[in-house]
Structure 1
């Protein structure tokens, strides 16, 4: 076994991100469909690691304990760049996005339950292949898997939950770009490549006309981001025993929003470009490590019926995003970007949704409303709505009582 130290693991992840960037820029189909760099490079690493383990008898172990911190750091940075004044402009779209999301949560679980019935699986496995792991992600999947193992005696449920959540990240990152690109071609939509007017919400490396961020601005942004982690973690600990459990990243994001919008009145001014770069790096490292540590042998062994269920869920989510979400959001360029984001957190996580949008705006131009609506929906609202829907479904006799 090859065991990588923390520094070596970060180096490997950085190399994977570089390779992913090279491949997505030089391979036409990857560039055309705006597949995020961490998805491409990380999956390539996972395949090579699987082949090395299978044929060479050598396994690679990475140190990934930094992953939760990276994810929290990313959401803290999202909060620190969230200008709530833009909500007045994005308000109608936010309401429309929610109106599209609520029935989707019910329908996604209905699809999972239907597939579980067709495959002769426990109904709870349908929810596991539904919003528990696809919208809820690894944290929600782990929480419900523990409950199902303890109270419903479902074998290997934790491995299946983690497999489903991880594959959801992959599928959400893979299909989001193609959906948006198809919508833009079909409806002849185009963004503006004038990134100076973006309000700080597109890929920071494209703001060529703006003055570069300084070392001092990076230090201030890093300080604010770590304040978000500390305060957010403390708030999460305070409400740990609440009836409705909210994820840690929600509190980090909320702290960032408070600092960003209240700090202006106290003389605190953050450089959004520096904050965005910190957040983008954190997100890329998180997704890269997640893809690199995907255990393909475990997936192949455990996820036969689950894979079929996820393929159906992927098709359903892509069609829903293209035909329902896009139309409810005014059928314009911003709607196409948000449709890609919808695939991201409808199958994977809010982080995947943001990665989809970043990949698209890097190529086509900024979408400032999308970068307000999607994080607010994905962080503040979708988890609460998901808990309500799941609690209602599990209470049904033919679902949780079997």
Structure 2
């Protein structure tokens, strides 16, 4: 069989092409667009499918240099470290801390469910973690990153990438399907539907909904890099990233001396959090938008590369355990959100919107969370507290997710 190898520069070029192809397909496909399926995932999957067919036919196999993929993974997780802002949590108040605490509890339970059921099927419990918070609370980016780590020399968990990304894709769809219907049922039960439906309030409600829509448009523009920021602030963000990456290597070496296995990016992630809080403590403004764009760029390329290198045939032998775990995760999320979370958050309209948003990012991504909340607020009226607590609490939970996943991996190793 002919082996065709792409070096890291060629891999980057193909990843960019797959990203553009995926973006075009997502825009043209209502299903993919509705459930916020990432463009790099779609494009990368096409490449992986073609490569699988070529290899199965004995014609050719394409191998990829993963050097740049590993670098982009470290950059992506370092930008997550920069989201852990103590002043931001204080500014958001008690509700953000509540959402953050609940997120940590849920992601821990997701990992417990995944690893336990995997053990019952006689497979590596660490593979069950790939169908836990790695894929669900973490989303496709975290699934791809930890899949790479788990398949590496430190853990040797075969199939972690393809299992995690398959579970993450399912989670994106499930998070959208569950959120709105579950909370609409609660709203109807509590007769809250009439809150925004009086003639005297119609005009005000419409204006507020338009404001929410405008916020969503701005968020989408940021994700596409359409909001212009000064070159100085981009340089500032890049220098902070470089500092965190470099000092993070030193911290990782110190952490490795403890005898506990940590992912290579862990030191940089922690240093990102430390540096951000130092920057804010001395009165400097942290470049949030620029850091977010750097994270988006690194994640998009990294996710495309990770998808391109998937060994899709691994899924065939693990289909039944994965399906059982995913069903258990959906049942857990329904029961927890409907009977516990809604009540914990206050049993009112705001708590219903927050619960719908929580389901979105706990099963898929923040894009799903915002879509779930927007579906409800467009029909019933604004929920400003939810639009503050869910994005910030969910964003900071990514930091804790990475730490807790590492703890689970070391426990089972």
Query: TM-score normalised to the size of structure 1?
Result: 0.73
SS at match of 1:78: helix
**Which residues in structure 2 correspond to 1:196-207 (within 5 Å)?**
204-205=222-223
The answer to whether the Cα contact below 8 Å between 2:126 and 2:409 also exists between their aligned partners in 1 is no
Distance 1:202 1:324 in 2: 33
Please name the residue that 2:147 is paired with.
138
Q: Is the partner of 1:289 in helix, strand or coil? A: helix
Give the structure 1 partner of residue 351 of structure 2. 331
Deviation of the 1:10 alpha carbon: 0.7
- Between the aligned partners of 1:3 and 1:206, the Cα distance in structure 2 is 31
- 8 Å contact kept, 1:24–1:35: yes
Query: Does the alignment pair 1:95 with 2:98?
Result: yes
Please identify, of 16-25 and 105-114, the stretch whose mean Cα deviation from structure 2 is larger. 105-114
Query: Where does structure 2 lack aligned partners over 5 or more consecutive residues?
Result: 135-145, 188-192, 197-208, 379-383
1:21 to 20, 23, 26: 23
Q: 2:267 aligns with which of 216, 238, 251?
A: 251
> Cα deviation per residue 1:200-241 (whole Å; 9 max; x = unaligned)?
x87614797x6x213332222111111111112211211113
Match of 2:330 among 294, 297, 315: 315
Aligned to 2:242: 226
2:171 counterpart of 1:168: no
CA RMSD, aligned part only?
Answer: 4.2
Q: Distance in 2 between matches of 1:20 and 1:90?
A: 39
TM-fit CA distance, 1:249: 3.7
Q: Secondary structure at the match of 2:157?
A: helix
Stretch of structure 1 that moved more, 56-65 or 319-328: 319-328
1:1-400 correspondence runs (5 A) = 1-55=3-57, 57-88=59-90, 89=92, 91-99=94-102, 101-102=104-105, 105-106=108-109, 109-110=112-113, 112-114=115-117, 116-117=119-120, 121-122=121-122, 125=123, 127-131=125-129, 134-135=132-133, 137-138=146-147, 141-142=150-151, 146=155, 158-180=157-179, 192-195=212-215, 204-205=222-223, 212-242=228-258, 245-266=261-282, 268-300=284-316, 302-316=317-331, 319=334, 323=338, 327=342, 328-329=344-345, 331-344=351-364, 353=365, 367-380=387-400, 383-384=403-404, 387=407, 391=411
Provide the rounded CA distance (Å) in 2 between the counterparts of 1:297 and 1:196. 39
Structure 1 residue 282 displacement after superposition: 0.7
Shift of 1:279: 0.9
Contact 1:112–1:309 (8 Å) recurs in 2? no
Equivalent-residue separation in structure 2 for 1:47 and 1:321 (angstroms): 37
TM-score under structure 2 length normalisation: 0.71
Decide whether aligned partners of structure 1 residues 207 and 42 sit closer, same or farther in structure 2, where only a CA change above 3 A counts: closer
> Partners in 2 of 1:262 and 1:5 — Cα distance?
39
Contact 1:133 1:141 in 2 (8 A): no
Q: Which residue of 2 aligns with 1:150?
A: none
The answer to whether the Cα contact below 8 Å between 2:147 and 2:162 also exists between their aligned partners in 1 is no
* Offset at residue 341 of structure 1 (A): 2.0
Residues 309-361 of structure 1: per-residue CA shift (max 9 Å, x gap): 444345346535753686255634444333222124xxxxxxxx467568889
What is the match of residue 152 of structure 1?
none
Q: Who is 1:397 aligned against? A: none
Using the TM superposition, name which of 10-19 and 89-98 deviates more: 89-98
**Contact 1:141–1:165 (CA under 8 A) maintained in structure 2:** no
Measure, in 1, the Cα distance between the counterparts of 2:180 and 2:43. Answer: 21
CA distance in 1, matches of 2:314, 2:148: 19
